[in-house]
């Protein structure tokens, strides 16, 4: 079990500058709205023990240079539970955030809704969800830090409902609290590590790294821009391939630079968005996040050269939608032989996942730029490509189908694959001539990438 910091100690971890907001005053009947025997006494003991009047404190703070609204739960006050007065405070904090165009940072540690207030406590989750949704619609980021423990409705609203979820490594995190889950349940499933592995949280962050990490996220997510991201320079580039099969061989060469090399060269700083929020991750097939390029923020979704899994497509769609809401331009790197086509991929809904990404890119209002850095394998690659703003490197190809599969479908002999590749017109220069892509980018030093 992680050390349970008080709300104010948790705030002190991320900022030295915290100004508490004024709180709404709500009249209360003796022992609360249900007349629960001993409720007033329990609240009095909690106040004496913690020095707080409620289970959450709210205010504004500067986190590594970015001002934000910070809400911190006091677990020592009735288990950080949500009641009507908690809802009042949270609503006021979100209203303040929208009025002053500030991001919201919930530091969550809660056991759920307050039993002594019954359904009136549970319905506070609807209030919180509405405030979060309105803040999302306003284009303001929400970055949650889930502490120990984060369970019940607090996890299902302020935690899992945030745009980005950072988790303290040893925290208990899950919808079911320790006293209500099945007796034979695996406790490892209710941890921060399990939530990151399942794609429900983005990263584990040690307390000593939290201020810097949160500051990087806030800085990157609060810098909208309207101009498209320029395509990266080509890495390891050569002259144009002579034949279609030459283009395919170059793109498949093991030594060819991959997504990580392109991201390292393009960004001076970047943070990782992980997980599809549906129970899956694809760390080996899709890299997503936000980075700094020439002083501004660019979101990225990059295929790594392997077959992309359904969770990878869903994570990329999540990235595009978040960047669109925040007004941040997107860079996508295409490099895959195609979508994963095994039975497990079908069970995980690969077709629906690809459709979701096609839709996210199609309706994005923020500009999307695409560079094909290797293999462009059919619809599994095209889903990530920006219509009208896709570029290619000299060591890439894009095809409706792999030449080997095309030859097999056409019942051609194996030695006809080279001819088939030529007929498919997959070379970078062919793609330009066909009007499928805007151009071929060159290496650094050969002029600035086209804008």
List, for residues 272-286, the tens digit of each pLDDT value.
Answer: 999 999 999 999 999
Mean pLDDT of 221-245: 92
> What pLDDT, on the 0 to 100 scale, is given for residue 1?
41
pLDDT at 113 over 90: yes
What's the CA gap between 346 and 102, in Å, rounded? Answer: 41
- Exposure string over 93-126, b if 16+ CB within 10 A, otherwise e: bbebbbeeebbbbbbbbbbbbbbbbeebbbebbe
> What pLDDT, on the 0 to 100 scale, is given for residue 183?
76
> What pLDDT, on the 0 to 100 scale, is given for residue 19?
97
Q: Do strands 269-273 and 286-293 pair parallel, antiparallel, or not at all (unpaired)? A: antiparallel
Terminal CA-to-CA distance of the chain, rounded, Å?
51
pLDDT at 175 over 90: no
If one compares 176 and 408, the residue with the highest pLDDT of the two is 408
> What pLDDT, on the 0 to 100 scale, is given for residue 402?
87
What's the CA gap between 327 and 346, in Å, rounded? Answer: 33
> What pLDDT, on the 0 to 100 scale, is given for residue 232?
96
Cβ contact 335:304 at 8 Å? yes
Q: Which residues contact residue 445 at a Cβ distance below 8 angstroms, ignoring those fewer than 6 apart?
A: none
If one compares 343 and 417, the residue with the highest pLDDT of the two is 343
What's the CA gap between 98 and 114, in Å, rounded? Answer: 27
> What pLDDT, on the 0 to 100 scale, is given for residue 443?
86
Which tokens hold the place of 235?
A: 């890495």
pLDDT at 2 over 80: no
Confidence of residue 447 (pLDDT cuts 50, 70, 90): low
> What pLDDT, on the 0 to 100 scale, is given for residue 3?
60
Instruction: Provide the CB-side half-sphere exposure for 338 (13 A, CA).
Output: 14
Say if pTM beats, i.e. exceeds, 0.85. Answer: yes
pLDDT at 69 over 60: yes
> What pLDDT, on the 0 to 100 scale, is given for residue 445?
60
pLDDT at 255 over 60: yes
pLDDT at 293 over 50: yes
Distances (CA, A) of 47 to 6, 203, 232: 13, 33, 56
| pLDDT, tens digit (0-9, with 9 covering 90-100), for 298-343 | 999 999 999 999 999 999 999 999 999 999 999 999 999 999 999 9
What's the CA gap between 339 and 310, in Å, rounded? Answer: 8
Listed residue (425, 424, 430, 429) closest to 440, CA to CA: 429
What's the CA gap between 436 and 381, in Å, rounded? Answer: 13
pLDDT at 177 over 50: yes
What's the CA gap between 184 and 181, in Å, rounded? Answer: 8
């Amino acid at each position: 079990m992680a050390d349970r910091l008080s709300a104010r100690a948790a705030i002190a971890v991320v900022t030295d500058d915290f100004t508490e907001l004024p709180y709404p005053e709500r009249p209360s009947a003796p022992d609360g709205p249900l007349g629960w025997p001993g409720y007033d006494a329990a609240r009095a003991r909690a106040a004496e023990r913690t020095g707080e009047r409620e289970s959450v404190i709210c205010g504004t703070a500067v986190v590594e240079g970015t001002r934000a609204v910070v809400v911190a739960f006091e677990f020592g006050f009735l288990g950080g539970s949500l009641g009507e007065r908690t809802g009042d405070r949270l609503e006021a904090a979100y209203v303040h955030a929208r009025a002053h165009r500030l991001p919201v940072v919930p530091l969550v540690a809660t056991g759920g809704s307050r039993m002594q207030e019954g359904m009136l406590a549970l319905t506070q989750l609807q209030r919180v969800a509405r405030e979060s949704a309105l803040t999302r619609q306003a284009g303001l980021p929400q970055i949650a830090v889930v502490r120990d423990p984060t369970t019940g409705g607090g996890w299902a609203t302020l935690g899992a409902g945030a745009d980005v979820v950072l988790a303290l490594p040893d925290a208990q995190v899950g919808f079911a609290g320790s006293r209500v889950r099945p007796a034979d349940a695996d406790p490892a499933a209710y941890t921060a590590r399990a939530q990151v592995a399942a794609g429900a949280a983005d990263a584990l962050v040690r307390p000593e790294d939290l201020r810097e990490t949160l500051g990087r996220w806030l800085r990157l997510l609060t810098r909208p821009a309207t101009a498209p991201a320029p395509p990266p320079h080509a890495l390891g580039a050569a002259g144009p391939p002579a034949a279609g099969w030459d283009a395919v061989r170059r793109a498949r060469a093991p030594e060819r630079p991959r997504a990580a090399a392109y991201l390292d060269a393009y960004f001076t700083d970047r943070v990782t968005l992980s997980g599809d929020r549906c129970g899956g991750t694809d760390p080996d097939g899709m890299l997503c996040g936000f980075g700094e390029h020439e002083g501004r923020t660019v979101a990225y979704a990059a295929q790594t050269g392997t077959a992309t899994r359904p969770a990878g497509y869903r994570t990329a769609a999540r990235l595009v939608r978040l960047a669109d809401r925040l007004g941040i331009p997107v860079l996508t790197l295409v490099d895959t032989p195609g979508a994963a086509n095994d039975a497990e991929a079908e069970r995980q809904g690969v077709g629906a996942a690809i459709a979701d990404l096609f839709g996210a890119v199609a309706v994005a209002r923020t500009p999307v730029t695409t560079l094909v850095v290797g293999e462009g394998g059919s619809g599994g690659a095209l889903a990530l490509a920006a219509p009208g703003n896709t570029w290619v490197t000299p060591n890439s190809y894009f095809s409706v189908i792999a030449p080997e599969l095309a030859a097999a479908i056409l019942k051609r002999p194996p030695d006809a694959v080279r001819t088939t590749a030529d007929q498919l017109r997959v070379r970078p220069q062919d793609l330009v001539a066909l009007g499928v892509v805007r151009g071929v980018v060159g290496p650094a030093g050969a002029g600035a990438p086209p804008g």
